[in-house]
């Protein structure tokens, strides 16, 4: 797993953060993450349930995000919204 500043780190199905720092020159973990829900900044060592979404790419189709977290760059989502690949978040039905 390699990341760049501006990428999104998705942990599980509902925690999204923006990579604000990559201390290793080769882009390997740990990463400095700003969590979208509360703005908390932390150094994170991703586990097998985490993935990197390149900057500007939407979160995977069908993924749900937590309240206040961004589903894709510039798109605000609310709790329970369904994310569809390449589209803005829509309320789950």
If you write DSSP's letter for every residue of 9-56 in order, what string do you get? EEETTTEEEEEEE--STT-PSPEEEEETTT--EEEE---TTEEEE-TT
Collect all residues with Cβ–Cβ distance below 8 Å to 5 and sequence separation of at least 6.
19, 20, 21, 22
Q: Give me 51's structure tokens.
A: 């993935």
pTM of the predicted protein model:
0.62
pLDDT score of 12: 83
46-77 pLDDT, tens digit per residue, is 998 899 999 877 665 455 554 444 444 444 44
Handedness of CA 53, 59, 62, 67 (dihedral sign): positive
């Amino acid at each position: 797993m390699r990341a760049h500043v501006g990428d999104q780190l998705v942990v599980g199905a509902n925690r999204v953060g923006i990579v604000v720092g990559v201390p290793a020159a080769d882009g390997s973990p740990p990463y400095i993450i700003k969590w979208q829900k509360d703005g908390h900044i932390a150094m994170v060592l991703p586990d097998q349930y985490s993935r990197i979404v390149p900057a500007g790419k939407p979160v995977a189709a069908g993924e749900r995000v937590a309240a206040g977290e961004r589903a894709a760059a510039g798109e605000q989502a609310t709790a329970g919204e369904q994310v569809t690949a390449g589209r803005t978040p829509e309320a789950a039905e």
